[in-house]
Amino acid sequence: MSRADTEQFTTADGQALDWLIRLREAPGNAQVRDDHLCWLQADPAHAAAWQGACATWQMLGLTRAAPTRPSPRRPARSIGLGAMALAAAVVMALILGPDLWMRIEADHRTGTAETRVILLDDGSRLTLDAGSAVQLQFSAGRRDVRLLRGAAFFEVAPDPARPFTVRNGGLSATALGTAFEVAEAGGATAVAVTEGVVAIVGADDANLPDPLQGGDWARLGPDGQIEQGEGDPAMFGGWRSGLLVVEDRPVAEVADALERHTGGRTVILGGASSRHVTGYFDLSNPEAALLTLADSLDLRLRQVGSVRVLSVR
C-alpha cells in the first residue's frame, strides 16, 4: 500500500472520510475492505463517524444520483438540505484539507517523498513525482490527462489516431510518440521535452510559434505569459533519479517542488518571493535541500510546527 493510502487523520470523522475515498479508489480490494472492517470494530466512535460520513457523502451526491426533479412538497426542507450539503462540504474540506477533491478526482496519486511508475492501458509509461496526482480520460479518439498537482513524466506510446494531451492550468501539451515532463509549481506550468515533438497550446488557444523538440522547454507563468528555452534533456525530470535541477526559477516554484518531498507547507514572505534560483538539489534529503536553498539566497528559514517560513534576513 502506498504512502498516499496510509495517510493518517487525527479525528474519527477524518478517518471515516478517508476510508470512504480509499474504498472508492479500490472497490475490489479485499485487503482494503478487511482493514476497513477492523477499523470499524476497533472503537465505537469509528462506527458513529462512519455513519455520519456516509450520510454526508450521500448528501453531496457522491454515492448516488440526485433526484431528477425536486419534490413539489415542503420546499423549506429542500432549501434546508441544500444548506446542509453546503455545510457538509465545508466540514469535509476543513477535516481533510484542500486535498479532498483532488483525491476524489485522481486516478493515480503519490504521497510525500513517494514516486511511482505506472503503465497505462495504451502502453504509455507514466512516472509520478512525489505529492502528485493525475486524472485520465481515455476514449476511442483521444488520450487526455489532467495533471492535478505536482509533476509527471510521460513516455508516450505512438498512436496517431489518438492524440495524447496533458493539461494543467492554462497550458496543454499534445504529443504523438515522445517523452516529456509536465510540472506545476508556484502557480506556473512547465513542459520539457526529452525526445520527439510536442505541440503547446496556452491561454486563449494560442499556439507557440514552433512545436517543442528534444531539449526544448516552455513555461506558462502566473502572469499568463509563455516563455521558451533550451536545456539538457538528460536533466529534464531529474527527480526520477532523486535530483531536482532548476535554472533561474522563482523561489516559490522550487519550494513547491521540495515541499512534495518534505511534507508540510512552506510559506514565502516579503521580498523573498522575488528571488530566483539556479542549482541542483538532492531529493534524498529534502530538508537539507531546503536549507541549501535558503542559504544560497541569503534567506532565513524558520520552522513553525509543520510550516516552514522563508524570509529575507
Grid look-up 486535498 returns 99
pLDDT of residue 32: 86
What topology is assigned to 109-235 in CATH?
A: Jelly Rolls (2.60.120)
> Domain coordinates of the chain in residue numbers?
3-105, 109-235, 242-312
Domain 242-312 is of which CATH architecture? 3-Layer(bab) Sandwich (3.55)
From the list 111, 122, 113, the residue with the least C-alpha distance to 145 is: 122
Mean pLDDT for each consecutive 10-residue tract of the chain (313 residues)?
Answer: 40 75 77 88 85 70 40 44 46 52 83 95 96 95 96 95 93 89 93 94 70 93 88 94 93 93 87 90 94 93 84 86
> DSSP characters for 279-295?
EEEETTSHHHHHHHHHH
Supply the pLDDT for residue 93.
Answer: 46
pLDDT of residue 61: 53
Residue 238, SS3? Answer: helix
pLDDT at 303: 84
pLDDT for position 8: 43
**How far apart are the C-alpha atoms of 20 and 124, rounded to whole Å?**
30
- Supply the pLDDT for residue 43: 86
Residue 159 is given by DSSP the state -
Determine the Cα angle at 275 with ends 273 and 276, to 5°: 125
Q: 182: which 3 cell numbers?
A: 509536465
**pLDDT at res. 75:** 45
Phi/psi at 189 (nearest 5 deg)?
A: -125, 130
Integer CA distances (angstroms), 94 to 13, 252, 266, in order: 11, 25, 19
What's residue 60's pLDDT? 53
